[in-house]
């Protein structure tokens, strides 16, 4: 079984003045390639901290975090940035699109920062726009799009660098129920094609789309259950 990620005894502490907050207290689990995982938990449970660590946006206090064969827990900022750019796609609740860029240009951003925005790369991004149903919106800017359309741009952008996995942080949190279903169908479809998805959500209906649910509580794994 090939792994997208392995988390071993992972901890993360934050020192706030005289107080130390133990955000993660020794979390362990594997994520096989092609898995679809919902990470759940109350505010303060550690789920955002875990997502930041998986996304190479922060460094753990202790433990191991393997992405493929590489232990990113011991990497410096530049090394983690390179991993983040080449292997991870991000989808955020607030979309995080660049307002000055149009749809196609926003999708191209990961390739631009890697110096890979070739004619073939641009065609790849145009194909992703078609896959998420935005072929008639390529020249529109984010302010000219609905929330659902902006999230479609974000999903296409997350796939531009052909990542090892997609990290989705409350991807439907700002959307109505009908648009939520449309976005989840897109994620379901990409998972069916083999993409690994790790999704933070507080909504049970959204988590039902995943094959597996990891619930955190006070920095611990409360349960890790797979459907069926």
Q: Which tokens in the block code for residue 180?
A: 């939520």
Per-residue tokens: 121: 């790369």
Instruction: Scan for tokens 């292997």, then name that residue.
Output: 87
- Residues 164-219 have pLDDT tens digits of 999 999 999 999 999 999 999 999 999 999 999 999 999 999 999 999 999 999 99
**The whole model's pTM is what?**
0.93
Helices (H) and strands (E) in the chain, counts: 7, 10
Pairing type for strands 196-200 and 36-40 reads parallel
Structure tokens at 55: 């996304």
- Per-residue pLDDT tens for 17-71? 999 999 999 999 999 999 999 999 999 999 999 999 999 999 999 999 999 999 9
Sheet holding 220-226, edge to edge: 88-92, 165-169, 196-200, 36-40, 212-217, 220-226
CATH numbers and ranges of domains, the chain: 36-51+77-226 (3.40.50.300)
């Amino acid at each position: 079984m090939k792994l997208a990620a392995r988390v071993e005894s992972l901890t993360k502490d934050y020192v706030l003045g005289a107080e130390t907050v133990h955000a993660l207290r020794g979390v362990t689990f594997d994520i096989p390639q092609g898995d679809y995982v919902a990470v759940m938990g109350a505010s303060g449970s550690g789920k955002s901290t875990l997502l930041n660590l998986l996304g190479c946006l922060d460094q753990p206090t202790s433990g191991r975090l393997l992405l493929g064969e590489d232990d990113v827990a011991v990497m410096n900022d530049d090394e983690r940035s390179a991993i983040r750019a080449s292997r991870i796609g991000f989808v955020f609740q607030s979309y995080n699109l660049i307002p000055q860029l149009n749809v196609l240009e926003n999708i191209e951003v990961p390739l631009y920062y890697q110096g890979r925005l070739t004619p073939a790369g641009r065609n790849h991004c145009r194909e992703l726009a078609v896959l998420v149903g935005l072929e008639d919106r390529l020249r529109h800017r984010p302010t000219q799009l609905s929330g659902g359309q902006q999230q479609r741009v974000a999903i296409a952008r997350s796939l531009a660098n052909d990542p090892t996995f997609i990290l989705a942080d409350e991807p439907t949190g700002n959307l109505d129920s009908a648009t939520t279903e449309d976005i989840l169908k897109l994620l379901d479809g990409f998972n069916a094609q083999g993409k690994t998805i790790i999704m933070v959500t507080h909504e049970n209906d959204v988590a039902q789309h995943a094959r597996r649910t990891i619930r955190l509580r006070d920095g611990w794994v409360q349960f890790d259950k797979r459907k069926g």
